[in-house]
Amino acid sequence: MQTRVIAVAVQNPGIAGNLACRIPFTSPQIGTASLPALRSVQSGALRAFSCAREHSDVVSSQRLRRKPPQHEFIRPLSSSSRKLDNFSSTATLESTPSEAGTLNEAELADLAVDGQVISKETRDLYEGVLRGNRRSVSKAITLVESSLPAHRAQSHQLLSLLLQRLSRPSRTASRRTSFRIGFTGPPGVGKSTFIEAFGNWLVETQNRRIAVLAVDPSSSRTGGSILGDKTRMDKLSRAENAYVRPTPSGGTLGGVARNTQEAIMVCEAAGYDTIFVESVGVGQSEVILADMVDMYVLLVPPAGGDELQGIKRGIMELVDLVVVNKADGELESQAIRTQTDYRSALMYLPPLNKYWRPRATRVSSLSRAGLDSCWSTMLEFHRAMVESGELQRKRGRQNVRAMWRQIGDELIGRLKRSNVVEGLMGTLEDKVRSGEVAAGRAADVILERFLEDEWKGPVGRDGR
């Protein structure tokens, strides 16, 4: 009898505790055993209960009744994280939710960045992101997108913690490296429709966990944005293993938001192994996205040679894959011809690296025809980049360029907040407007006065 009670306790400590505390002396399961025997049973159950509570593979009695225990082991959640979203236990990453979820109170209390103790709010947010909590992921992305100095300091601490976690060696042998894919294309090509169909197909058939960072254009006058991508991706946004985040571009050139790269890191830390980034459209300056993702995909509609000429050569030189969308119905023949045209055009462009030559394929977002072939091509690209080591080198170069972009953005932000600059701005703007002072000379004056105020001393043009 004692062996049976211990077995139950290991699988469900809650049941074990109840057995240990409430076994009646006249229970029909154990008959009229002697008092020492009953005490032995009760003691064994309590020991098993205490032992099982020390392990992290705990299963609630409710879930045990619903499914066999050997298939439903989940990580214990803290009292502040009882309503976390479910995640797939088979989806792996540099740091999967199941791995990242093994956080105890001592680890959380010892979290620090540059010798500074992390606040409870940041620790709770960090823990929620690692557990794959959608609300925590959304709050973290909102935090990194904020331009307020206090929020920036908190976001830097959070990102440092997430980066440390992602860089740890994985204990999961079957883990897979995340895949960052950027989508661009002319307006009306059906980017959102394609991502909706493709994302659902990956979730349903390929067991992927998808995060979509959809960047919507912001008004140049009011700065507002409609953020309608989540509405257009209705089914994908409700999928259990998908997360859709619309973000305003904020007027940033490049078709992406200013902090898209940090948002990608947050999604990867939350366990999403496939990251889609949708830009606002294609144009002469819409190339920064290619510097944030592993694979740059250009979506084009079925059309003739005029469409090919309308795409900037700079974009074509950066793409890894051209996808002809709307290849169905009456447009299918045109899609085949367009695919052939792009294949020929790509042959005359130098490849970005020696491990991959850009290709062209066609799909139908309505019938899902060609999605399997498109995904196979993407996986072939990803495999070639990972095995050659080019993916790691490429991400390293992207991180360095992101650092310089952040330096530029931070300097401009500090300059605009400077009291000295604010005092000069009105007078200099009037002189530039009237033609009395050249714009370049006014910029030099502002920078010199700003640097003098920032570093409390005159700074020459050579920076010394």
- Give domain limits for the chain: 2-66, 92-166, 179-386, 395-455
Give the helix, strand, coil percentages of the chain, each rounded to 5.
55, 10, 35
**Mean pLDDT, rounded, for 314-333:** 91
Average pLDDT over the chain reads: 74
* Integer Cα distance of 100 and 98 in angstroms: 6
pLDDT over 50 at 1, yes or no: no
Better-scored residue on pLDDT, 457 or 145: 145
Please report which confidence band the pLDDT of residue 49 belongs to, taking 50, 70 and 90 as the band edges.
very low
How confident is the model over 44-71, as a mean pLDDT? 40
The band of 9, judged by pLDDT with boundaries at 50, 70 and 90, is very low
HSE-up (13 A, CA, CB side) for residue 175 = 20
Mean pLDDT of 406-422: 86
* Least confident segment among 46-55, 152-161, 187-196, 363-372: 46-55
Backbone conformation region of residue 463, classed left if phi is above 0, alpha if psi is from -120 to 50, else beta: left
pLDDT of residue 452: 86
* pLDDT, tens digit, 9 for 90 and up, residues 257-289: 568 889 999 999 999 999 999 987 655 446 788
Kindly report whether the global pTM for this prediction surpasses the value 0.85. Answer: no
- Examine the pLDDT at 352 and tell me if it is beyond 60: yes
What is the helix (H) or strand (E) element at residue 159, kind and residue range? helix 149-166
Q: What is the largest CA-CA distance in the chain?
A: 106
Q: How far apart are the C-alpha atoms of 287 and 271, rounded to whole Å?
A: 27
Q: Is the pLDDT of residue 92 over 50?
A: no
Question: Which is more confident, 64 or 291?
Answer: 291
CA distance 179 to 154: 27
Beta carbons within 10 angstroms of residue 268's beta carbon: 23
The mean pLDDT of 399-404, rounded to a whole number, is 91
Residue with tokens 């400077």: 418
The residue-averaged pLDDT of 73-102 equals 37
C-alpha to C-alpha distance for 211 and 227, rounded to whole angstroms: 16
Order of strands, sheet of 210-216, starting from the edge strand that comes earlier in the sequence: 242-248, 210-216, 274-278, 179-184, 295-300, 321-324, 359-362
Pairing of strands 242-248, 274-278: unpaired
CATH level 2 (architecture), domain 179-386: 3-Layer(aba) Sandwich (3.40)
Return the CATH class of domain 395-455.
mainly alpha
pLDDT of residue 314: 72
Strand pairing category for 321-324 and 274-278: unpaired
Q: Tell me what the mean pLDDT of segment 111-132 comes to.
A: 82
Specify whether the CB–CB gap between 407 and 415 falls below 8 A: no
Write the burial class of residue 388 (CB in 10 Å: 0-12 exposed, 13-18 middle, 19+ buried).
Answer: middle
pLDDT at residue number 325:
95
**Span 348-357, mean pLDDT?**
90
pLDDT score recorded for residue 170: 57
Contact (Cβ atoms closer than 8 angstroms) between residue 13 and residue 52:
yes
Question: Would you say residue 149 has pLDDT above 70?
Answer: yes
